[in-house]
Structure 1
Amino acid sequence: MKILVTGGLGFIGSHTVVELQNEGFDVVVIDNLSNSSIEVLQGIENITAKKPEFENIDLRDKKSVQDFFKKCSDISGVIHFAASKAVGESVENPLLYYENNINTLVYLLQELQQKEEAHFIFSSSCTVYGQASAMPITENAPVQSAMSPYGNTKQIGEEIITDVAKVSSVNAVLLRYFNPIGAHPSVEIGELPLGVPQNLVPFITQTAIGLRKELSVFGDDYPTPDGTAIRDYIHVVDLAKAHVLALQRLFEKKNTEKVETFNVGTGKGSSVLEVITAFEKVTSQKLAHKIVGRREGDVVEAYADTQKANTVLGWKAQSSLEEALESAWRWEQKVRGKMAVCPKQN
């Protein structure tokens, strides 16, 4: 079975390609390298002993998408990661997010709906819940007005997929995941943001390695135990495995609805200060940080109820916050050529 992974050289995409190839799938990666590196292909091959097919395509170009599906008519399933993903950036540049996250999805679905059978996994997000009224968040929690254009693109994306599935052969799984962190245990692949990181953990590791002067903690006046925002941090390898299980569920026709939704997280919330403390403990690195004002678009807390994914999908997070942070630190050191500072812990 040949699987298309869009954004397959990105952080979550590359780890998912590894898990797909470990399960015997043939993979074609589409990536425009706007927030990734071609070198990731070699990292995937180093782990799996197989290099996936690669197409440098910008999915915003409708004709390029059409030409790809004409050439690769044997695609059995699609896992769609290709999207812009930073909350803060989306507030500053909303049209970029609407073009990149909505148009690309539409062009893919236009091709898939022409197939007799189409399997589609969508990279969604817990941002669709906005600030949920109760914790942990279940899949039945209402989708609230988005607090950022990024969150809105995920909501709109889910609605588009649901509408298309009603009138076509498309069957889909929407994976609403929380905050992916860490790196592959081999440290052959990991998170490598271009420019200033938009997410907490790469900013932590870049600060610890000396690339950034200090870490900004956005707000310490939230109604949480230590005043900082709470999130559910999940190891990226655990998250990648959920995508493979979701795809297999569709292939085996175990889905009970045309579009199914699953939360993918650890079920445990950690505050920003707790993450900093855990990082300092596992790496023995003191982290320079300062408290600054809240960031527009951020919610107070969000962590998952994972019971549905555990029981229906047969998936459960395996790695701890400390294990994920330790792998992220080893990856940062490798990238900066300083691996000897902190060898892998047993």
Structure 2
Amino acid sequence: MILVTGGLGFIGSHTVRALLDLGEDCVVAQRRTRELPALLAGERVAVEQADITDRDALLAIGRRHDITGIVHLAASYPWSPTPDTAVEATRHSLDGLLNIAQAAQEWGVRRLGVASTIGVYFGVQNDGPLREDAPLPLNAPVSIPTFKKVGELLNGFLADATDIDIVNYRISGTWGPLGHADPFFAAPALIHAAARGTAPDLSHLVRPAFAEDGIDLNYVRDTGRALALLQLADKLNHRTYNVGSGRATTNAQLAEAIKKAAPDAQVGLPTGGDTPPMVLDISRLQEDTGYQAEYDTERAAGDYIAWLRAGNKI
């Protein structure tokens, strides 16, 4: 049985779905109670309410279930802490990761996979697909890649010291059902507006969106399947894997795909934008798991719009 922390969240739900499709039973740990999303309703999923920073509550899950592997997707970083809470928020974040590692050790799990982010590559020379062995700068502009880098270093130390198979998953920009607006790329907002027949509101973005802006954009159903394949692979040859599409998708390409599913969509964006897109090299993922994406941009846009128009809740 695979424990997925954050398993009822955006990427977590799709990872659980993919694990079930591959024949695994799953237990999900969520800090807050919530109902199973529609894609998991009626399935063999055990739900445990537990905060990963509560070590006793987390370890108790292993007394109720035979946990053989862990996919750790629950947030483990402080998001924009205030000056007077920064130290405690940092301690809270690291406690969560260390508790997960302790659980993996005590339960004797086969593999612990930990979510990281494409953001760890901020500042790396971007002249082609980014490989996992690229030297990373020690600093980061925001808290998420900062803590993911710290986590990757800790995971390497713990893997060596404890002989636990700990693997980092550097996940690219992900979009699709159950997703919300993202501050770093426009795709979710464009899709939601197209499904509603309204003009998109892009005021939440950290910078203006242009038609030529691109990103390694991966549909969440593919992301979840990639994580499931990494978790279940008989042998992994590396400790860090990029999880993405391996290609850049521009806003202009996305708009074209959206208009095929929703011809009246208001998805035009101004021209401009000169930031080279970050694209992940996914050859490790493909070689060690046989992964191939099932959703190109057109199929993903059509699937997402249909899902929203069917009245599904995000």
Q: Same fold (TM over 0.5)?
A: yes
Is the 8 Å Cα contact of residues 217 and 249 (structure 2) preserved in structure 1?
Answer: yes
Alignment of 1:255 with 2:236, yes or no, is: yes
Task: Tell me what 2:44 maps to.
Answer: 51
Q: What is the SS of the residue equivalent to 1:302?
A: coil
Shift of the 100–52 alpha-carbon distance from structure 1 to 2, 3 Å rule, reads farther
Q: Quote the Cα distance in structure 2 between the aligned partners of 1:209 and 1:99.
A: 41
Q: Quote the Cα distance in structure 1 between the aligned partners of 2:276 and 2:298.
A: 22
Is the 8 Å Cα contact of residues 209 and 269 (structure 2) preserved in structure 1?
Answer: no
Task: Tell me what 1:169 maps to.
Answer: 163
Q: Quote the Cα distance in structure 2 between the aligned partners of 1:280 and 1:269.
A: 19
Deviations along 1:183-240, whole A, 9 cap, x unmatched?
A: xxxxxxx2243xx65453322233234497533263368xxxx5x5320111212221
Deviations along 1:171-191, whole A, 9 cap, x unmatched?
A: 022221211222xxxxxxx22
Is the 8 Å Cα contact of residues 208 and 286 (structure 1) preserved in structure 2?
Answer: yes
Is the 8 Å Cα contact of residues 235 and 324 (structure 1) preserved in structure 2?
Answer: yes
Q: Quote the Cα distance in structure 2 between the aligned partners of 1:16 and 1:104.
A: 20
Alignment of 1:38 with 2:48, yes or no, is: no
Letter in 2 for 1:242: A
Task: Tell me what 2:27 maps to.
Answer: 28
Aligned match for 2:247, one of 268, 284, 289: 268
Deviations along 1:289-337, whole A, 9 cap, x unmatched?
A: 666xx9xxxx752111122222233212232011111111112222369
Segment of structure 1 superposing worse, 281-290 or 61-70: 281-290
* Identity, % of aligned positions: 23
Q: Structure 2: which 5+ residue stretches go unaligned?
A: none
- How many Å apart are 1:107 and its aligned residue? 1.1
Is the 8 Å Cα contact of residues 130 and 278 (structure 2) preserved in structure 1?
Answer: yes
- How many Å apart are 1:285 and its aligned residue? 3.2
Shift of the 177–336 alpha-carbon distance from structure 1 to 2, 3 Å rule, reads closer
Q: What is the SS of the residue equivalent to 1:324?
A: helix
- How many Å apart are 1:7 and its aligned residue? 0.6
Alignment of 1:283-302 (within 5 A): 283-287=262-266, 300-302=276-278
Q: Quote the Cα distance in structure 1 between the aligned partners of 2:62 and 2:304.
A: 36
Q: Quote the Cα distance in structure 1 between the aligned partners of 2:123 and 2:11.
A: 24
Shift of the 164–271 alpha-carbon distance from structure 1 to 2, 3 Å rule, reads same
Q: Quote the Cα distance in structure 1 between the aligned partners of 2:82 and 2:244.
A: 28
Task: Tell me what 1:242 maps to.
Answer: 226
Q: What is the SS of the residue equivalent to 1:78?
A: strand
Task: Tell me what 2:115 maps to.
Answer: 123
Q: What is the SS of the residue equivalent to 2:68?
A: strand
Task: Tell me what 2:217 maps to.
Answer: 233
Task: Tell me what 1:185 maps to.
Answer: none
Shift of the 197–243 alpha-carbon distance from structure 1 to 2, 3 Å rule, reads closer
Q: What is the SS of the residue equivalent to 1:278?
A: helix
Aligned match for 1:81, one of 73, 87, 90: 73
- How many Å apart are 1:116 and its aligned residue? 4.1
Deviations along 1:35-86, whole A, 9 cap, x unmatched?
A: xx4141x53135xxx23000122222233223323433x211000111179x
Q: What is the SS of the residue equivalent to 1:180?
A: strand
Shift of the 242–210 alpha-carbon distance from structure 1 to 2, 3 Å rule, reads closer
Q: Quote the Cα distance in structure 2 between the aligned partners of 1:331 and 1:241.
A: 18
Shift of the 285–173 alpha-carbon distance from structure 1 to 2, 3 Å rule, reads farther
Alignment of 1:219 with 2:208, yes or no, is: yes
Task: Tell me what 1:132 maps to.
Answer: 124
Letter in 1 for 2:115: S
Q: What is the SS of the residue equivalent to 1:335?
A: coil
Is the 8 Å Cα contact of residues 230 and 301 (structure 1) preserved in structure 2?
Answer: yes
Is the 8 Å Cα contact of residues 116 and 169 (structure 1) preserved in structure 2?
Answer: no
Task: Tell me what 2:284 maps to.
Answer: 308
Alignment of 1:81-100 (within 5 A): 81-83=73-75, 90-91=79-80, 95=86, 98=90
- How many Å apart are 1:29 and its aligned residue? 0.7
- How many Å apart are 1:131 and its aligned residue? 3.5
Aligned match for 2:187, one of 187, 201, 206: 201
Task: Tell me what 2:300 maps to.
Answer: 324
Shift of the 220–234 alpha-carbon distance from structure 1 to 2, 3 Å rule, reads closer
